[in-house]
Chains A and B, each alone.
Chain A
């Protein structure tokens, strides 16, 4: 198990390098000169040139990249061009709310998706199965921003049940929970569909297998057969799916946070890009990529825990 984690860590080094490279290219390829942004609209060309030299933007691209790489490795991601705070401190403030949002999203949507999928499999072809599958198709096909807007429109504005702007505090406080509810519900909604569908087909597949017949021949009740011998084995592909969906989670967080003005990494990244705040944008992208790698690592570990054949 440890060697597996270690292997994953080693494999993720080139990925991180690639992310750094792409983030750096952002600076060069995107229109808009950071020196001009920093100097402001009224600055003279001399001032802009001075800033350019100070920031090392006149050096060859390769030199710039290597010095950037060197700084990143020392934990220095630069300063935000807008707020002039260090990128590390800006990111630090945004990471916790985003983690909270992801936890709040996954904690209800994954179990619910699995439960719905299992129910649909057990009652295959009956009305309950069709209802669940209809809901999950809706979940798969509705875009996240639409779900967010509907949540704001109905739950937030018309019924005035929950707040829909910003963060109310840490997750364990009542205000924190109230504020995170709508973003977490919206973001989670996109997971239920795929998870329920995958669980359903996976459970149906597993229930046909020989070992399930053995479980029945042991005298287990149907519930025991489904939960212990059906669902447990069926979860293996579901976990893989959740790992693959991690990209949607990150992307969905960007949209959700922007719509709900939730002060997380996603909104930070969007704001940084829109205001040409390159150091901050690079940092945010780096952290989001890191998050993606970590999620996949957790998935791999879960995979090995669920399926002993993987460890060998």
Chain B
């Protein structure tokens, strides 16, 4: 193993051209992910976290999307300049991806086994028989009961949790170094969520793969990630090790998010909310994109865009007011 991190995203910007106008979905996004670690990407709907994960796979639909700048390096190779053929070899091979909707992410007209077999045959050139055996092994690995018969089931014959297990098996089929999970538990009910997260953590420990976990759920982050990136309106607003982030959140948005998490010891008071809503991606905002909703916003926040700056080793925040003394 070399010293280069497995995944480096450097100043990534992705735009969508809609109605002749370029609209930035994501800009200035930078983070690194080391082998064997889990990085959480958190934010509200529309903050650009899914676009970021799709961008790493180069699956942002082009057009209307296109890369407006930055670099994505995977094991030192720049993915954005990689020919499509090479990129295909990485997709489903060294980079596996799990999507949010297990109900619709599997093709309804093929059996679960066939869908895993397809991926195995594309990447490892196994013959049909060997691929099928491997598919059964994978289904067993992800804890699907009686994998030998389930392998011939169609997706509609499985429950949501079981389908997500199949999706994970599919993503892991070719022993990826990086697993991108885009809201893997959002569509599942809570007990199944916990099982799936445990499974992913367990598999990460066994295979040594790095995991990029995209979620809007801070609870999921606390449970599974070592590092967190908080995104807001297409930017990273805070970046920290999980412990530091939860102990000492520095961006008013992160603080607001944490205050909005329901707590079992808080009685029956109304849940806290962050007033206002995320500005649309086409809004051209001079200063901090969170200023209109921020309780601390000052004149400087409305005119000057705060850069991401380090407060402590590994802990960076994009706020003029940081460090904030007493977190909410």
Q: Interface on A for B, CB 8 Å cutoff? A: 209-211, 213-221, 224, 228-229, 232-233, 236, 306-309, 312
Contact = CB atoms under 8 A, between A and B. Distances in A.
A39 to B, nearest CB: 62
Given A219-B88, A308-B108, A309-B156, A214 B122 contact: no
Contact of B109 (A213, A224, A307, A312): A307
A18 B108 CA distance: 38
B112 to A, nearest CB: 11
A196 B88 CA distance: 30
Contacts of B252: none
A308 B109 contact: yes
Nearest to B57: A217
Contact of A210 (B99, B115, B122): B99
Contacts of B109: 232-233, 236, 306-308
B105 A219 contact: no
Nearest to B91: A219
Contacts, number: 71
B88 A217 contact: no
Given A219-B90, A219-B123, A214 B108 contact: no
B298 interface: no
A210 B88 CA distance: 18
A203 to B, nearest CB: 14
Nearest to A228: B118
B111 to A, nearest CB: 8
Contacts of A215: 107
Contacts of B104: 209-211
B296 to A, nearest CB: 40
Nearest to B180: A217
Contact of B91 (A217, A229, A236): A217
B156 A218 contact: no
A220 B106 contact: no
A183 B299 CA distance: 80
Contacts of A216: 59, 91
Contacts of B101: 210
B107 A219 contact: no
B108 A211 contact: yes
26 contacts: A209-B104, A210-B99, A211-B104, A211-B105, A211-B107, A213-B99, A214-B115, A215-B107, A216-B59, A217-B57, A217-B59, A217-B96, A217-B97, A218-B92, A218-B122, A219-B88, A219-B89, A219-B91, A219-B93, A219-B122, A221-B88, A224-B122, A228-B118, A232-B109, A233-B107, A236-B109
A216 B59 CA distance: 8
B31 interface: no
A309 B104 CA distance: 13
A220 B115 CA distance: 11
A160 B106 CA distance: 54
Nearest to A212: B107
Contacts of B167: 214
B152 to A, nearest CB: 11
A220 B107 contact: no
B29 to A, nearest CB: 20
Contacts of B106: 211, 214
Instruction: List 9 A-B pairs, minimum CB-CB distance, nearest first.
Output: A219-B92, A218-B92, A219-B91, A210-B104, A211-B107, A218-B119, A217-B97, A308-B154, A210-B105
Given A308-B108, A308-B154, 8 more contacts: A214-B107, A215-B107, A218-B91, A219-B88, A220-B88, A220-B92, A228-B118, A308-B156
B170 interface: yes
A97 to B, nearest CB: 37
Interface string B78-110: 000000000011111100110101001111110
Contacts of A219: 88-93, 119, 122-123
A213 B53 CA distance: 13
Nearest to A305: B109
Interface centre among A213, A221, A309, A312 (most CB of B within 10 A): A213
Interface string B48-84: 0000000001010000000000000000000000000
B59 A214 contact: no
A218 B118 contact: yes
Contact of B105 (A214, A220, A221, A236): A214
Contacts of B108: 211, 233, 307-309
Nearest to A309: B156
Contacts of B170: 214, 218
A302 to B, nearest CB: 13
A232 B108 CA distance: 10
A220 B111 CA distance: 17
A220 B97 contact: no
Nearest to A307: B109
Nearest to A311: B154
B80 to A, nearest CB: 17
Nearest to A218: B92
Interface centre among A214, A221, A308 (most CB of B within 10 A): A214
Given A219-B89, A233-B109, A309 B99 contact: no
Interface in B111-170: 111, 115, 118-119, 122-123, 154, 156-157, 167, 170
Contacts of A214: 99, 105-107, 115, 167, 170
Contacts of B89: 219
A125 to B, nearest CB: 11
A128 to B, nearest CB: 18
A230 B156 CA distance: 18
Contact of A312 (B92, B118, B156): B156
A220 B114 CA distance: 14
Nearest to B90: A219
Contacts of A308: 108-109, 111, 154, 156
B154 A220 contact: no
